[in-house]
Every structure is written in C-alpha cells, then in structure tokens.
Structure 1
Amino acid sequence: MVARLTAISLAFGLLSACAGQDVVEGPVALGNFKLGHNIVVADNPQKVPISRNADPQDWDDSLTAALDERLGRYDGDKFYNLGVSVDAYALAPPGIPLVLSPKSALVVTATLWDDALGKKINEGEQFTVFEGIDGDTMIGSGLTRTAEEQMEKLSFNAAKRIERWLSENPEWFGLPPKPKNTAVSSK
C-alpha cells in the first residue's frame, strides 16, 4: 500500500514538474503580418450548464489581452485585423477529486481581414481549446483555480491556437504555401 501511494505521489510530482507555466515560444514565420485591430466579441456566449458563470466583458478583456500579447509581437509591414467571437465556454466548478473533476473549455471563431483591402481573408474558423493538464488541473481546475484564472489559461491557449492557424496559412502573409501532403503508395 505504501509503495502504491509513493508511486502515485511520484507520478503526480513528475507531472507537476513537467507541466510548465504559460510558456510563450518564439514567434513563428508569419511573413508580412502585423496585428492591426484585435476585436473580440463576447456578447452572448453559450455556457455549458455545469459551468461557473462568467461576465462577457471579462471574456472580452481576457481574450483581447492574450491575443495582443501573442500576436502583437509580429512586426511585418502589412496590417491584418482579427475578429474573434466567443461562442461557448465551460469553466469547471469544484468537483469531487478523482471522481468528478470537470475540465474547462472555450469555443471561439476567428476571422482575419486584410486591412488595406478591407476584405475578409477567411469566412471564420472555429476552435475549441481546453486548459490542458498540469499539476493544478489533475484533480480538476475547479478545485485549484478561480474562474478568472481558468479564463486566463483558456484565453492564452486560444491565442496560441489562433497563432498556429495563421502559421498554417503562410500564403495569406506573402509566403509560399505549405506543401501539400502527398501520399506515396508502394506496390
């Protein structure tokens, strides 16, 4: 029994040690991208029934700050405007550790605009992001984080996911398109 508890404690400790804070990696290749307007709309997001409550303005503030921090570091020579709507969310309430430990999630839709041309580049791309698992969320983030801390982590992950989406479309920013995966069949 002692060996089992020790092994479990070590496993949780290792997971906690491996799970870093919100690490912001270096910028990715985004060609001529420079963030112009960063507009977040959180007028009427759907709340999952078991979720904690969140004020739409708090979502707006949290996600706007995360996008500014993540995408405002690019210094290309062409402005692109980003519109993001908060579609739905779940902020984990306190649960019963290891039995019922809900996780937080956020659903957003992003639209990119060419500022100079005043036109949409895409029709909207929807993303679902989660808090992720670290030492604080193994037993449920509702027990270890406030609603504001959960919103901050979800906003950070949404901004990171949107940055990755932009990097998956280099042709929008004056770069050559990524090569298409072509399966080679062997007979």
Structure 2
Amino acid sequence: MPGLPPAVLRIVVATYAAITAVVLAVAVGAGVAFGDDVSAWRDVPFPRLVPSVGEVGSILLHNGRILLAAIGAALAVNSPWLAGASQPVERGWGWKATRALCDVVLVLGVARNLLTVGIGLAAYRERMLLATLPHGPVELAAFSCGLALYLMARRGPVDRRVWLTLAAGGGLLLAVAALLEVFVVF
C-alpha cells in the first residue's frame, strides 16, 4: 500500500503471515487428529454461486462486517487520541476495560473463522483450497489491514493517514475479493 511507513507494512504482513500459519496449523492438526474420520465430509457438494452483482454485494456486506468490527475496535481503543489533544492522554480503567473487551471479541471472532477454514481444509483438502482461490488471499489481506490497525491502535495514537489507508485499503481489497469469489471460480 503506497504511502504507508515500512513499520506499518511490517505489521500488516506479519498479521497476514500469522493468520495463514494458524490456518495451516489447524488444518494439519485436524487432519492428523481426525484422519479418515473427516473423509465422509468430502462427499458434500460445494454450491456454485450465481454470478450477479447482488451476490457480490451480499458477500461484500458479510465480509465488511468483519472488517468493520476490527476498525470499530481500533476506533474504540484509539479514541483518546483521535481528538488530537495536546495534553498527555490518561489511560484509566475505562480505557483498559474497553481494550480488554475489544481483545476478547476480536480474538473470538478471528478464532472462529480460523478454525472454520482450517478444519474445512482438513476435511475437504483440494476442494476447499480451490474454493478459496483466488479470493481467499485477497480477503485475508483485507482482514489483515483491519487487524493490523487494531494492533497499532491498542498501543497508542495512530496517524490519520495510516487510518485512512488501512481502512480504505481493506475495504477496496474486500470489494476485489468479492468480485473474484463470484466471477472467478476454479
């Protein structure tokens, strides 16, 4: 993403890599733990999406909620600095409680999705992998933008240009991913 400081890009890339590593670990772990017990799942057909603008919009709205959760959490924990106060910001118990609540909500949401994709990969193998291509990596990049923004915001003030670039970039990537998911199918 042009204009982002290298430190911000490193956080986005590290988030992307960490999520990918966890999905692969879940897939391998579920495959080892359940072995052929998941083979019956492989007979379940994958539904084909109807290529339409409405389908793209539906996918974009669904995935947009996930990205907005991360951006909203980033806003909540970064709110003391958003007003541009010239005084040092006091991070009291209210801010710490808000950050802890946001942490829990995001961890549970991310864990649910990582487990779903990882177990799906263990169960369906190549079929699941092909079903997530080519949109999956782009979608993951969008979510990585939101999560990276949250990770930075929970530590302190985030520059407005970084906010706008990561939020807008995440939204744009989700739009591209939705188009790919509907119109480019392997």
The structure with more strand, counted as a fraction of residues = 1
Q: TM-score, structure 2 length as denominator?
A: 0.25
The structure with more helix, counted as a fraction of residues = 2
